[in-house]
Structure 1
Amino acid sequence: MAILAGAAALAYRLRFGNADLSLEYLRAIAHTLVFALLILNGSSLYRSWRGRGLVAEILKLTAQWALLFVVLLVYAAALKLTGDISRIWALGWFGLSLCGAVALRVGVRSAAHWVRERGLDLRSAVIVGANPDAQRILDTLRRSHWAGIRVRGWFATHADRGQLTGVPMLGGLDNLGGYVESSHIDQVWLALPMHEQAKISFALTQLEHSTADVKYLPDLFGMRLLNHSVDSFLGLPVINLRSSPLEGEARVVKAAEDKLLASLILLLISPLLATIAVAVKLSSPGPVLFRQLRHGRDGKPIEVWKFRSMRVHQEHEGQVTQATRGDPRVTPLGAFLRRTSLDELPQFFNVLQGTMSIVGPRPHAIAHNEHYKTLVDHYMQRHRVKPGITGWAQVNGLRGETDTLEKMAKRVRYDLFYLQNWSLAFDLRIIAMTVLKGFFGKNAY
């Protein structure tokens, strides 16, 4: 509240040269403070951020701050108050107050880190069960002193897969309740397989009279989870083990990003498209565009367009032969287009059609998908989103021929990483990397 009010006064002084706020501005500030109490307190900003990243916190703060000022703008427009308020002042107020709020959070985090690294403001924790996931979180907590969580030890169960190293074993599951209560433990991490419901229920029963936070770390070792989350369905709690990263608002944002950028890019490169089209037509007999069926979102067939880079030839039915170094089918112009990825420019029309995205896993030929889906783990999961003109795998050098199984497996790992970590900022980062280094590739034949 103090930052909001102080930033408003500072923005007024910078805009008008004095701090004598008029009645209209005082009303706007008062209304904003009321909206802030409703909007910010209703968010997760004032819950514990211990152990969570600073970037996520700042993004959440920025989103809530933007919502606050949008609500203020709508309110002012509804009451026809916008003519009485300086837009420059309002913009300055938003920027100054957001910077102040971010600075406050960074300062508080820095102070908390400093204090926790010196043994203060700590939370004690114990782990129930032993598996690779539990060991990973234990090692992470031991390295991350700034999180202020100290693991006292672990409790063994009959469902364990090995032992935890680095902390002592405190006993069996029967000893859990007494230890947590007598030692005033703050957090209990349950690292048990999902099928051990009886043991999970027994542990919760032991903790019935404890005020410790209980966190469940299911033993999902070996599973490939995609955008897993906890959700409510028809009033029942469910855990999503696999789901598309682009649903709801994210799908709308992705579609708007694709349509806007594709339209702008096509407008800018239209002379280049015309030049390449003429050059392809003159280079060898055949059509300008090469059309091929690929798998799109949810595995549905789509037609992908490229500038033709090979001489017209006939493939055996159901077979698609990848281009190799020195491939005689590739024309000299085609080799240049493939090396520079200029042959893929017509795919911006696919983006406008809605069958592709600018960023996403590259679409493979259907014959390749049928071949690799049984050889590479989780291969078809990459089709949970629309295929892209460029992708995380491509900007990391995984372009062109996949002459070994390991190359394809590595490309799939990068594609799945993209699915698990999608965001608008990640897309823009990949586009920027494509512009800077992604046009040329030594493996693109």
Structure 2
Amino acid sequence: MLFKQHRFSNIITPVSYFIDLIVVNVLLNILPINFQTPVLIHVYISLAWIVIAIKNEFYTVYRFAKVAYIFRLIFVQFIFFFLTLYAFIGFFKQPVISRLALGEYFIIVLFIVSVIKLLGYVLLMEYRDRVKGNLRNVVIVGKNKKTDQLRKVFNERTEFGYNFLKQFSPKSENFNIESCFDYVIDQNVDEIYCSVSELKNEELTKFINFADNNLKTLKFIPDNKNIFAKKLKFEYYDYIPVLSLRDIPLEHPINAFLKRSFDIVFSLMIILGLLSWLTPILAILITLESKGPVFFRQTRNGIDNREFYCYKFRSMAPNHNADNIQATKNDMRITKIGKFIRKTSIDELPQFYNVLFGTMSVVGPRPHMVKHTNEYATSVDKYMVRHFVKPGITGLAQIRGYRGEIETEADILNRIKFDIFYIENWSMFLDIKIIVQTIINAFKGEAKAY
């Protein structure tokens, strides 16, 4: 996933955007193109470049990508950029613009951006090959011609950045699936590559569940079985076809960058526009009713199951069970002001500091207490999938009625179902829809907001 250890896409992609946009905009001022409205052309060119790059996935370059793929990205990017560039003349009626200078500008931008793109690609490959950085620990499950070819790719194409550790053979007499799982955990394996032809259906199911529950990436080396009937992601490692089981939108650098940018802007708006004056008022009301801190912090599990402190306005009288026992209906620990701020979800507002600091997102699966995470990780199937992304202040499960106390098994199962759906189907539109519905629910009041 994007923010996993050893991955640099969350840094490389924004920096690449910034450098290319600098090149695209600075050259506009150097060449004698004769723009009548400089501000308009800069905004137009910047937006056009970003939109084309997103549609073309110009900044999404996988570690196993070939040079030909880089040239294809450059070709497609600049074909549309050329058309967009000259369309500016007709759209905004700019008759005095020098077509020749505009052509020179296009060629120079093409050359500089191409050099930067190829240089970055080569340097990252060299870094993996020589420095042995940005590596992914991998194992292969299967022993046949295709798996041997894939192992050869991992060992010989060191520039891809795969650290091959072990190959398991399901056909051997001493193969034990549990021992395989233990090895993956002990050696901190990042990705598991399974040959579908050598695993039984129940073994495939075990691998899928194990990967989900332990935050491991699972990929398949295909054959002619029914796995082709599923909607899977198809990739080539050199000339070896590989299938990925789950494609998480937020693993794509552009999506992650957009979501993080939105989180920063939105959290700053809430902190400066609301918490700046609301916090002193609540501080007085909370301390007048019961002695103790204004804020309550609790250790919860976030992305990659990492623990972090989640902040709230204190809504209970200080007690020793706050980290172990979830609030229930008519809970005697809840104060009068606490009852109001919990009913309106005002107690959750300090979590916008968590969002600003990067431990949470505005929208995502709600983080659970460490005690509950440890319990559900072993008792609820696919529970750990929710930790592939940052936890949120609100989420799809919450607006669908699955918030607060977990009273029955159906509550946690449905919560996980909605969390996984959100992770696999994320979009900015879905985030905005969830935020709007959360605000509406806060004003209407919710049955389980206690």
TM-score by length of 1: 0.51
CA distance change for structure 1 residues 310 and 83 in 2, over 3 Å: closer, same or farther? Answer: farther
CA distance change for structure 1 residues 217 and 264 in 2, over 3 Å: closer, same or farther? Answer: farther
SS at 2:243 equivalent = strand
Instruction: Letter of the 2:255 partner, please give it.
Output: A
CA distance change for structure 1 residues 84 and 378 in 2, over 3 Å: closer, same or farther? Answer: farther
Cα distance in 2 between the residues matched to 1:409 and 1:262: 30
More deviation, 337-346/236-245: 236-245
Cα distance in 2 between the residues matched to 1:74 and 1:298: 46
Q: CA deviation at 1:217?
A: 9.1
CA distance change for structure 1 residues 285 and 216 in 2, over 3 Å: closer, same or farther? Answer: same
Give the equivalent residue in structure 2 for 1:337: 341
CA distance change for structure 1 residues 72 and 315 in 2, over 3 Å: closer, same or farther? Answer: same
Give the equivalent residue in structure 2 for 1:291: 297
1:264 to 2:276 alignment: no
8 Å contact kept, 1:356–1:387: yes
Q: Could you report, residue by residue, the CA deviation over 1:331-350 in whole angstroms, capped at 9, with x for unpaired residues?
A: 01111111111000000010
8 Å contact kept, 1:230–1:239: yes
Give the equivalent residue in structure 2 for 1:72: 84
Which residue, out of 375, 378, 381, partners 2:382?
378
Give the equivalent residue in structure 1 for 2:182: none
Which residue, out of 235, 248, 254, partners 1:249?
254
Cα distance in 1 between the residues matched to 2:224 and 2:324: 44
SS at 1:302 equivalent = strand
Q: CA deviation at 1:274?
A: 2.7
CA distance change for structure 1 residues 74 and 237 in 2, over 3 Å: closer, same or farther? Answer: farther
Instruction: Letter of the 2:415 partner, please give it.
Output: R
8 Å contact kept, 1:357–1:388: yes
Q: Could you report, residue by residue, the CA deviation over 1:398-430 in whole angstroms, capped at 9, with x for unpaired residues?
A: 111101111111111110110111011111111
8 Å contact kept, 1:306–1:345: yes
1:417 to 2:421 alignment: yes
Give the equivalent residue in structure 1 for 2:113: none
Cα distance in 2 between the residues matched to 1:245 and 1:43: 15
Aligned ranges for residues 360-375 of structure 1 at < 5 Å? Answer: 360-375=364-379
Give the equivalent residue in structure 2 for 1:195: 197
Q: CA deviation at 1:232?
A: 3.2
Instruction: Letter of the 1:351 partner, please give it.
Output: V
8 Å contact kept, 2:197–2:223: no
Which residue, out of 219, 222, 236, partners 2:226?
219
SS at 2:378 equivalent = coil
TM-score by length of 2: 0.51
Q: CA deviation at 1:242?
A: 3.2
Q: Could you report, residue by residue, the CA deviation over 1:166-223 in whole angstroms, capped at 9, with x for unpaired residues?
A: xxxxxxxxxxxxxxxxxxxxxxxxxxx94289xxxxxxxxxxxxxxxxx9996359x9
Cα distance in 1 between the residues matched to 2:256 and 2:359: 13
Aligned ranges for residues 269-418 of structure 1 at < 5 Å? Answer: 269=274, 270-315=276-321, 320-418=324-422
Q: Could you report, residue by residue, the CA deviation over 1:264-290 in whole angstroms, capped at 9, with x for unpaired residues?
A: 222221222332222222221110111
SS at 1:406 equivalent = helix
CA distance change for structure 1 residues 391 and 43 in 2, over 3 Å: closer, same or farther? Answer: closer
Aligned ranges for residues 159-198 of structure 1 at < 5 Å? Answer: 194-195=196-197
8 Å contact kept, 2:294–2:313: yes
Runs (5+) with no aligned partner, structure 2: 1-35, 58-75, 98-194, 200-221
Give the equivalent residue in structure 2 for 1:428: 432
Instruction: Letter of the 2:267 partner, please give it.
Output: A
Q: CA deviation at 1:243?
A: 4.9
Runs (5+) with no aligned partner, structure 1: 1-23, 45-63, 86-192, 198-214
Instruction: Letter of the 2:330 partner, please give it.
Output: G
CA distance change for structure 1 residues 398 and 74 in 2, over 3 Å: closer, same or farther? Answer: farther
Instruction: Letter of the 1:257 partner, please give it.
Output: F
Cα distance in 1 between the residues matched to 2:309 and 2:442: 24
Structure with greater helix percent: 2
Give the equivalent residue in structure 2 for 1:61: none
Q: Could you report, residue by residue, the CA deviation over 1:10-54 in whole angstroms, capped at 9, with x for unpaired residues?
A: xxxxxxxxxxxxxx9xxx9xxx9xx9xxx89x979xxxxxxxxxx
Instruction: Letter of the 2:304 partner, please give it.
Output: D
Q: Percent identity?
A: 40
Q: Name the Cα RMSD after superposition.
A: 4.1
Larger radius of gyration between Structure 1 and Structure 2 = 1
SS at 1:260 equivalent = helix
Instruction: Letter of the 2:340 partner, please give it.
Output: F
8 Å contact kept, 1:395–1:438: no
Cα distance in 2 between the residues matched to 1:82 and 1:260: 35
Instruction: Letter of the 1:390 partner, please give it.
Output: T
More relative contact order in 1 or in 2 (CA 8 Å, sep 6+)? 2
Q: Deviating runs (4+, > 4 A) in structure 1? A: 67-71, 73-77, 81-85, 215-218
Q: Could you report, residue by residue, the CA deviation over 1:289-313 in whole angstroms, capped at 9, with x for unpaired residues?
A: 1111111100001111000111101
Q: Could you report, residue by residue, the CA deviation over 1:344-387 in whole angstroms, capped at 9, with x for unpaired residues?
A: 00000100000000000000101001111222110011010000
CA distance change for structure 1 residues 250 and 271 in 2, over 3 Å: closer, same or farther? Answer: same
SS at 1:441 equivalent = coil
CA distance change for structure 1 residues 367 and 423 in 2, over 3 Å: closer, same or farther? Answer: same
SS at 2:271 equivalent = helix
Q: Could you report, residue by residue, the CA deviation over 1:46-67 in whole angstroms, capped at 9, with x for unpaired residues?
A: xxxxxxxxxxxxxxxxxx99x9
